[in-house]
């Protein structure tokens, strides 16, 4: 709790991310699978594809849930 209060704070970005956490939990697996499928034949080392998948999945999951899923009618009641 001390870390949360001192280091992170309660800015606008953190509130938006916190509001999307459950929706991201529900939709992150298909997003990760799509990114892995898209990168399966990409050139380069496997560790680089892993890093791209991890960072891309985090960014795309939060963006997708914030700008697509939570804009649907009644989605706020569910998520």
pLDDT at 17: 84
Q: Which domain holds residue 6?
A: 2-78
- Candidates 42, 39, 3; CA nearest to 31 is 39
pLDDT of residue 44: 92
Instruction: Give me the tens of pLDDT residue by residue for the chain, a chain 79 residues long.
Output: 666 666 666 778 878 888 889 999 999 999 999 999 999 999 999 999 999 999 999 999 999 999 998 888 888 888 8
pLDDT of residue 9: 63
The pLDDT of residue 77 is 86
DSSP string, 33-44: HHHHHHTTT-SS
**Angle, helices 46-67/21-38, rounded to nearest 10 degrees:** 140
Number of domains in the chain: 1
């Amino acid at each position: 709790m001390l870390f949360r209060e001192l280091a992170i704070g309660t800015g606008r970005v953190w509130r938006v991310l916190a509001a999307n956490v459950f929706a991201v939990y529900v939709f992150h697996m298909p997003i990760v699978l799509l990114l892995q499928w898209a990168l399966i034949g990409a050139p380069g080392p496997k560790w680089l594809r892993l890093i791209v998948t991890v960072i891309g999945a985090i960014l795309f999951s939060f963006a997708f849930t914030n700008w697509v899923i939570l804009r649907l009618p009644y989605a706020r009641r569910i998520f």
